[in-house]
Structure 1
Amino acid sequence: MSTTSSDSTPGTETPNQFALLKQRRFAPFFWTQFAGAANDNLFKFAFTVLVTYQLSVGWLPPAMAGMVIGALFILPFLLFSATSGQLSDKFEKAAMIRLVKNLEIGIMVVAAWAFLASNVLVLLLCVFLMGLHSTLFGPVKFAYLPQALNERELTGGNGMLEMGTFVAILLGNVIGGLLVSIPGIGHAVVAASCLALAVAGRVTAQFIPRAPATDPGLAINWNPVTETWRNLKLARSNTVVFRSMLGISWMWFFGAVFLSNFPSFAKDVLHGNEQVASLLLVLFSVGVGVGSLLCEKLSHRQVEIGLVPLGALGMTVFTVDLYFALQGLPPHAGYTLGAFVAQPAHWRVMADLLLLSLFAGLYSVPMYALIQLRSAPTHRARIIAANNILNALFMIASALMAGALLGAGFSISQIFLILGIANAVVALYIFLLVPEYLLRFIAWAASHLVYRLRVEGSERIPVDGPAVLVANHVSFIDAVLLMAVSPRPIRFLMDHRIFKTPVLGWIFRLAKCIPIAPRDQDPEAYQRAFDEAAKVLREGDLLGLFPEGGITRDGQLQPFKGGIMKILEQAEAEGQNVPVIPMALNNLWGSYFSRIEKDGAMTRPFRRGIFNRVGLNVGDAVPQSKVSPELLHTKVSALMVP
């Protein structure tokens, strides 16, 4: 994967996600997205306030205005996402973005007139057209990122984009409500602001670098029904990608329940005024933004889907706690913002809302990055379009569910409790269907909570194609730590006896590790292991080996066995060229999971305290033609820190 910017070359990367804002390949795109999201929400919220408080429209009751406007905005996602995905794959993406921004300016010219004329019908038409604008922009937005950023920047880039989107939503809602309420000139100011944001987005779009079409020969299918079905079938061909799409759609279901109920929640449950409702939106938006930004910090700068179970757990814990925090709140007639914040009983409510949204950010960003990374470039935009369709359906379902529960006599706080429990059930279902999420979470926890893992050279682990990773074998948890730093799954060839270890054996079976027994003990199992190893490389995946053949008992590097040569000879016979990546785990000896002559492994949990600092050094790839056990032993030994 290469970058597209004139100020960045393939293989280079920024030191952190914030540095992307200084680079042409990301900054103009970020601000274009920011302006568009802010404009969408400023326009929609100002219009909602207009028909709710300022105009009397007999055929559009104020209680229905927000729902009608929201439904009209979502409708184009259902009708045109499939077509927009095709267009994004077929045409150069920067040109597509500029075309969409030109459309936005045209829509805002019409909307500006409608605001000045207080023409509700035309404003409803503009809501639908702005939904179309967002529908066209969605697939190209998420398909652009993998072309502009390398794999180690993808999580940070998505985090920045998610943070920027929620900040833009927040600012758009707040500013839209304030501007439209200005006596005498509110409508004119809103009209001018919407038009100004549209022009600003078009100006920044002009500086977005070219991102070539990924499937220029694609024949457009203009039938949205058949194309939607085709896109969903395309997505389902990759199980991990499709289940990630369902996970993202569930997050939108989860978030939509909160966002749509904030006004009633603030008024009927918290007894607060409009400012309290705005505070809830601020807390939710800030939480998602902070969680999104934390993803890069917590992920070793890779696509770390191990954060997804952590995010799901936090979403459930703090949603359920929110229900209990709401029990027994003193009744009050209309808290102002200051009075609401001054009440200690409300601090727990605010903390729960902030934290559940923070964990929602941790949950969603890795899934978006995974879809971008694992989808074939030729139809990546169509996969994103299919995801947008699912998101819209799930958001509609959330509104129907919340409405049905309210109609059945459930309170808003009870709906939150049901949502928290449902989130746990859905998350467990997804993680059982796709064990990779759970495995990555275990690896992430081991490298952040059990140990403090410092990694040097992780960018040398290839992000695609077959490769063999070889490392010293110090402890029972070596494979788990290597999983934590790899950008994709590793299939390990491991001593069959380790599969009998409680808990770890279950983890390694879940990770599809390959058991191997000595040839003189079980020749069939021995050969079966090498056949499976050859299949791993044949399918273009990573194979992990510990060539010492067993865990060291004295902390020293043992001689390497020759099994790797048998694997590489088979690969060469099949016409493959498989690089070998030497790696060394450091400072693990003497920890809980390592063997020590006197105590044995896993006998004294705190023999070295907690949060032990350990390291992994990754060396340069060794070409297949130069590999020998002796050379690899020398390479790994050189990577070991005394």
Structure 2
Amino acid sequence: MTQHSQFALLGKRRFLPFFLTQLLGAFNDNIFKQSLILAILFKLSVSGDRTVLVNLCALLFILPFFLFSALGGQFGEKFAKHALIRAIKLAEIVIMAVGAAGFLFNNLPLMFLALFGMGTHSALFGPVKYSILPAALREDELVGGNALVEMGTFLAILAGTIGAGIMMSTSGYAPLVAGAVVLVACCGYLSSRFIPHAAAALPSLAVDWNIFRQSWAILRLGLGQTPAVSRSLVGSSWFWFLGAVYLTQIPAYAKEWMHGDETVVTLILTVFSVGIALGSMLCERLSGRKVEIGLVPLGSVGLTVFGLLLWWNSGGFPAQADPQSWLAVLGHGQAWWALGSILGIGVFGGFYIVPLYALMQSRTAENERARVIAANNILNALFMVVSAIASILFLSTAGLSIPQLFLVVSLMNIAVNSYIFKIVPEFTMRFLVWLLGHSMYRVEHRDLDRIPEEGAALLVCNHVSFVDALLIAGAVRRPVRFVMYYKIYDLPVLNFVFRTAGAVPIAGRSEDLLVYDAAFKRIGDYLREGELVCIFPEGKLTGDGEIDEFKNGVARILEENPVPVIPMALQGLWGSFFSRDPRKGFFKRLWSRITLVAGTPLAPELASPQTLQAQVAELRGGLR
């Protein structure tokens, strides 16, 4: 399987212009929004409560996601995506020109109008942004592409926030901000001109301009997807709930608990954003460049653990008469523990969110993808509003401190994700498979690109250990339906994994004829549905490390379902803890290196049991 770095995508025209376009958009959003907030707080002469006006900014930016995400989803299906992106980026220039005029003339209503316009721009851009990726990227690039987008988005948010602070600290801030937002908008439009052609997924779609009716319809479409996709929408929105809680409380946390000034706020934001970027980047490597939803439970556990650590490490900062700079705060050992916890939240947040977005894209029909992403955006906005209400209730009504709020949301994270993983046990199953392949074993893959990307096929492999199916499932890009001896299928813990993966228990004809016949019927159903089925033709685990005679069950399968056959072999697994080697030991072969190799596909008429046994033996070689 071809190995490549996700950063290589930055050299591809099918990705780089889009990446720059979305990065510049996120950067511009945050330059303008943060500059407006700072202008209200420190620069403008305003009547009324400045805090209310700052909260009004948040409302004006998030409101368009409720109002216009449904339109954005419909536009993303009906129109060519590259042309739609260019139209949206052209509108951004107009919106930013209005915002620039607001800054130049100190006109707050114009600034508010532009902020609402930028929220609308983002609401329309979001569905097409995520729906274009599966069309532009190969399957093995999808996780890396999403990781780069998430990394770029959070770093753009950070850069926009810092850039706004720098510009607003000068006396002549107005022309600087005005010029910057218009220039960035123009650069975004220019980069969009280089996005390659991306055809409309459903050009016949009739746009429903009733935003309330269509928003409800799109929410129903999104939540009516398969459980894995619909609960991914919930998980994604929960991530933004957590993110909104942390990001909203950072300024007050830096001031009241770390006794720091504005530079400490920037330090915390930097650490958090770098954590998200780092976690996003690591996703591709840890997932083996495929959509690996097993990382989602890992991310969830990390979010809870580091959230609890942040609560635990939030006390003990010595009180100061004056706020301290970031360098002074770093002089306290407690600060390093708190910042390490924040970094951990960011890293595991990346593990959590990137696979969810990739799963939404990969498992949604092309002609529904943009609308499903629109449903996700509506839910994200709803959860962010609920997070603000919940924070107010916990902090004001319940009288919790900010660290106690972090404790509460960390515990809530356990409850929410327990619900998601209970409804979709595939998350937990894939996590166990991923954990096995990254703890006890180091699995090398050879020639697995010989397994077809789509369509029915039969995989045949030697049977060395109780975890052969898990190792193959963790290596093959597509879901695999395993046929296994029913006593192995019924093993505790592993039975949960096998049931969730749709494995097929089989018994010998003389042992249980009903189980035997039911197994072949289910195998036939899977193959007719175009799925991959894997069988271990020896019918039992090897007792001496050698390959036993292949039984005739594979011949019956191919007679009833003539599909291509891919011989495979596991090397180096004999002697491991889960094999039947009498000299095995738990630590003897811990983290041992094993290899899974695939051979040349065979036509069904050539795949006799004897031929397949010879092929598998040749692939395995002398390494048992």
C-alpha separation between the residues in 2 aligned to 1:309 and 1:224?
35
Cα distance change of structure 1 residues 566 and 232 upon mapping to structure 2, 3 Å threshold = farther
Which of 554, 576, 588 is equivalent to 1:607?
A: 588
Which of 456, 472, 479 is equivalent to 2:462?
A: 472
Amino acid in structure 2 at the alignment position of 1:513: A
Deviations 1:43-69 (A, max 9, x none): 10001000111112114x222233211
Q: Which residue of 1 aligns with 2:210?
A: 223
| Count of aligned pairs | 619
Which of 37, 46, 52 is equivalent to 1:48?
A: 37
Structure 1 moving runs of 4+ over 6 Å: none
Gaps of 5+ in 2: none
C-alpha separation between the residues in 2 aligned to 1:231 and 1:452?
43
C-alpha separation between the residues in 2 aligned to 1:493 and 1:14?
30
Matched, 1:513 2:498: no
Q: Which residue of 1 aligns with 2:565?
A: 580
Shift of 1:641: 4.3
C-alpha separation between the residues in 1 aligned to 2:276 and 2:471?
28
Shift of 1:13: 7.1
TM-score (norm 2): 0.97
Residue 226 of structure 1: SS of its match in structure 2? helix
Q: CA RMSD in A?
A: 1.5
Matched, 1:285 2:265: no
Partners of 2:259 and 2:317 within 8 A in 1: no
C-alpha separation between the residues in 2 aligned to 1:13 and 1:191?
47
Alignment of 1:81-230 (within 5 A): 81-183=69-171, 185-230=172-217
C-alpha separation between the residues in 1 aligned to 2:2 and 2:150?
20
Partners of 1:495 and 1:515 within 8 A in 2: yes
Which of 349, 358, 375 is equivalent to 1:386?
A: 375
Q: Which residue of 1 aligns with 2:233?
A: 245
C-alpha separation between the residues in 1 aligned to 2:202 and 2:138?
20
Q: Which segment drifts farther, 26-35 or 325-334?
A: 325-334
Cα distance change of structure 1 residues 316 and 568 upon mapping to structure 2, 3 Å threshold = same
Deviations 1:364-383 (A, max 9, x none): 00110011100001111111
C-alpha separation between the residues in 2 aligned to 1:388 and 1:625?
51
Q: Which residue of 1 aligns with 2:546?
A: 556
Q: Which residue of 1 aligns with 2:386?
A: 397
Alignment of 1:213-612 (within 5 A): 213-235=200-222, 236-333=224-321, 334-408=323-397, 409-572=399-562, 578-596=563-581, 598-599=582-583, 604-608=585-589, 610-612=590-592
Partners of 1:479 and 1:492 within 8 A in 2: yes
Deviations 1:69-93 (A, max 9, x none): 1111111111111111111111111
C-alpha separation between the residues in 1 aligned to 2:216 and 2:566?
42
C-alpha separation between the residues in 2 aligned to 1:459 and 1:403?
53
C-alpha separation between the residues in 1 aligned to 2:2 and 2:473?
23
Amino acid in structure 2 at the alignment position of 1:423: N
C-alpha separation between the residues in 2 aligned to 1:64 and 1:379?
39
Cα distance change of structure 1 residues 210 and 494 upon mapping to structure 2, 3 Å threshold = same
Q: Which residue of 2 aligns with 1:8?
A: none
TM-score (norm 1): 0.94
Shift of 1:293: 0.3
C-alpha separation between the residues in 1 aligned to 2:29 and 2:600?
48
Partners of 1:14 and 1:20 within 8 A in 2: no
Shift of 1:585: 1.1
C-alpha separation between the residues in 2 aligned to 1:170 and 1:457?
42
C-alpha separation between the residues in 2 aligned to 1:180 and 1:445?
48
Q: Which segment drifts farther, 454-463 or 154-163?
A: 454-463
Shift of 1:476: 0.4
Amino acid in structure 1 at the alignment position of 2:465: S
C-alpha separation between the residues in 2 aligned to 1:340 and 1:373?
45
Shift of 1:219: 1.3
Q: Which residue of 1 aligns with 2:615?
A: 635
Deviations 1:550-592 (A, max 9, x none): 11112122222221222233335xxxxx332222111111111
Q: Which residue of 2 aligns with 1:5?
A: none
Partners of 1:483 and 1:490 within 8 A in 2: yes
C-alpha separation between the residues in 1 aligned to 2:389 and 2:451?
46
Shift of 1:95: 0.6
Partners of 1:14 and 1:153 within 8 A in 2: no
Deviations 1:189-219 (A, max 9, x none): 0110001100111111111101111111111
Residue 300 of structure 1: SS of its match in structure 2? coil
Residue 547 of structure 2: SS of its match in structure 1? coil
Partners of 2:218 and 2:375 within 8 A in 1: yes
Shift of 1:31: 0.6
C-alpha separation between the residues in 1 aligned to 2:620 and 2:349?
39
Cα distance change of structure 1 residues 495 and 406 upon mapping to structure 2, 3 Å threshold = same
Cα distance change of structure 1 residues 138 and 511 upon mapping to structure 2, 3 Å threshold = same
C-alpha separation between the residues in 1 aligned to 2:59 and 2:613?
63
Residue 589 of structure 1: SS of its match in structure 2? coil
